[in-house]
Amino acid sequence: MIGEKSYIHTNVKFMYYKNFNIGNHSHIGYSAHIDNRLPISIGNNVMIAPHVKIITLGHNLDKSDFCAKGAEVFLKDNSVVFYGAMILPGVIVGEGAVIMAGSVVVKNVEPYSIVGGNPAKHIRFRTKELDYEINQGQWFSC
């Protein structure tokens, strides 16, 4: 399901034809990789920059056959994921949180937290006084 005034730009790759919800006024930048073999839920007013990877399924490293292992991913309202970041299975990105460019997120991100690095670590908290609406328009979107 795609909410009102939400946009998915060109060359975004989905792994599956379902298990995906995006709220209102949200945006996925070009060439993002959305591994929705397990559910991905994106809230309202969420900005996902180009070349971001959201992964829901990987391998169990403790099994000799490396069988599949994964979990659902959530991006809560007003969160922002900058260029080239990667979010791994089971992560919940809290409301208003920011993931810096190139970060690898392996655990939950607290609401209004700014995280960065590999693995992503808390840098500081963001203001809770957010008053904006993502409106990237339809340039190059589908």
Q: Which two tokens stand for residue 50?
A: 């180009």
Mean pLDDT rounded to a whole number for the chain: 93
Tokens 């060359």 correspond to 11
Q: Is the pLDDT of residue 46 over 80?
A: yes
The contacts of residue 120 (CB under 8 Å, 6+ apart) are 85, 99, 100, 103, 104, 105, 106, 109
Where does the pLDDT of residue 94 fall: very low under 50, low under 70, confident under 90, or very high at 90 and above? very high
pLDDT tens per residue, range 95-142: 999 999 999 999 999 999 999 999 999 999 999 988 777 776 655 444
Query: From the CB of residue 40, how many other CB atoms can be counted at a distance below 10 Å?
Result: 23
The answer to whether residues 35 and 53 touch, using CB atoms and an 8 Å cutoff, is yes
Q: Is the pLDDT of residue 88 over 70?
A: yes
Query: From the CB of residue 107, how many other CB atoms can be counted at a distance below 10 Å?
Result: 12
Percentage of residues in the chain having pLDDT higher than 90: 89
Give me the pLDDT at residue 142, please. Answer: 47
The answer to whether residues 112 and 129 touch, using CB atoms and an 8 Å cutoff, is no
Q: Which two tokens stand for residue 7?
A: 């946009």
Q: Is the pLDDT of residue 53 over 80?
A: yes
- CATH of 7-125, picked from 3.40.50.2300, 3.20.20.120, 2.160.10.10, 3.30.420.40, is 2.160.10.10
Q: What are the boundaries of each domain within the chain?
A: 7-125
Please, which contacts does 11-17 make with residues 24 or more away whose CB atoms are closer than 8 Å? none
Q: What's the whole-number mean pLDDT along residues 32-57?
A: 97
Amino acid at 104: V
Q: How far is CA 89 from the centre of its chain?
A: 11
- pTM to 2 decimals? 0.91
Between residues 75 and 140, which one has the greater pLDDT? 75
Q: Is the pLDDT of residue 11 over 60?
A: yes
Q: Which two tokens stand for residue 128?
A: 């809770």
